[in-house]
Structure 1
Amino acid sequence: MRRWAWVLLACLPAAAEKQKLTEEERLMLIRGLMAETAKAKVMIPRSKKPLAVDEKGVWDKEVWEAASKEFGPAARVGELVTVTKVEIKDDRVELELNNGLKSGRTWRDRVQVGVGNSTAPIGRSDAQASAGSNIAVVFAAKVTTLEVADVKRILAPVMDFDKRTVTENYMENIPAPIREAIQNKRVIEGMDKDQVMSAVGRPLRKERQTVDGADFEDWMYGRAPGKLTFVTFEGNKVIKVKELYAGLGGSTAADLPVQ
Structure 2
Amino acid sequence: MALRKHRWALVIGCLLLLAATVRSQVFVVGEKTATDGISTHFTRTNLPLPDQPMKERGRRELVRMLVAEQGFAHCALPMGAGLTLRANGPIETNDAAYKEMIYKKGESAAPGDRVVVTSLTVKGDRIILDLNGGPYEKHRFLRHVQFNDNPVVADTAQEAVGSRVTLLFEGFVPDVSAPEVKALLAPVIDFGVKTTEQAYANTLPPLVKQAVDVHEVLVGMNHRMVLAAMGEPESKIREKQSGDPSGATYEEWIYGHEPQTIHFVKFMGDRVTEVEIAELGKPLEIHTKDEMGGYNPPEPTREIAMGDQEPNNSANGQAPPPTLRKPGEPIPAGGSGKVQFPTASQPVPPPAGVPAAGSPSDPHLL
TM-score category (smaller protein): 0.5 to 0.7
**Matched residue, 2:167:** 137
Query: Structure 1 residues 125 and 30 mapped into 2: Cα distance closer, same or farther (>3 Å)?
Result: same
Taking structure 1 as the reference length, the TM-score comes to 0.62
**Matched residue, 1:163:** 193
**If each structure's strand is expressed as a fraction of its own residues, which one has the higher value?**
1
Single out whichever of 232-241 and 134-143 deviates more from structure 2: 232-241
CA contact 2:219–2:275 (8 Å) conserved in 1:
yes
Amino acid at match of 1:257: L
**Matched residue, 2:122:** 88
The answer as to 2:246 corresponding to 1:257 is no
Q: 2: distance between equivalents of 1:182 and 1:146? A: 32
Structure 2 spans left out of the alignment, 5+ residues = 1-51, 287-366
CA contact 1:182–1:199 (8 Å) conserved in 2:
no
**If each structure's helix is expressed as a fraction of its own residues, which one has the higher value?**
1
SS in 2 for 1:102: coil
**Matched residue, 1:31:** 64
Q: 1: distance between equivalents of 2:55 and 2:213? A: 51
Q: How many Å apart are 1:161 and its aligned residue? A: 2.9
Q: How many Å apart are 1:59 and its aligned residue? A: 2.7
Match of 2:232 among 167, 180, 201: 201
Q: 2: distance between equivalents of 1:225 and 1:67? A: 51
SS in 2 for 1:77: coil
Q: How many Å apart are 1:67 and its aligned residue? A: 3.0
Q: 2: distance between equivalents of 1:257 and 1:22? A: 65
**Aligned ranges for residues 1-259 of structure 1 at < 5 Å?**
19=52, 21-47=54-80, 49=81, 51-62=83-94, 64-103=98-137, 109=143, 113=146, 115=148, 119-126=149-156, 128-163=158-193, 165-171=195-201, 173=204, 183=214, 192-194=222-224, 199=230, 201-202=232-233, 204=235, 206-209=237-240, 211-217=244-250, 219=252, 232-236=266-270, 237-239=272-274, 241=276, 257=284
Q: 1: distance between equivalents of 2:196 and 2:263? A: 29
CA contact 2:115–2:132 (8 Å) conserved in 1:
yes
Q: 1: distance between equivalents of 2:224 and 2:217? A: 11
Amino acid at match of 1:77: P
Q: 2: distance between equivalents of 1:88 and 1:178? A: 36
Structure 1 spans left out of the alignment, 5+ residues = 1-18, 246-254
CA contact 2:71–2:190 (8 Å) conserved in 1:
yes
Query: Structure 1 residues 220 and 71 mapped into 2: Cα distance closer, same or farther (>3 Å)?
Result: closer
Q: How many Å apart are 1:41 and its aligned residue? A: 3.4
Larger radius of gyration: 2
Q: How many Å apart are 1:179 and its aligned residue? A: 6.5
What do residues 96-154 of structure 1 show as CA deviations (whole Å, max 9, x unaligned)? 11111235788974x68454xxx533323446444221122233334343322443343
Q: 2: distance between equivalents of 1:94 and 1:206? A: 49
State, as a whole percentage, how many aligned pairs show the same letter: 23
CA contact 1:233–1:240 (8 Å) conserved in 2:
no
Q: How many residues align?
A: 227
CA contact 1:57–1:156 (8 Å) conserved in 2:
no
**Alignment RMSD (CA, Å):** 4.4
Taking structure 2 as the reference length, the TM-score comes to 0.47
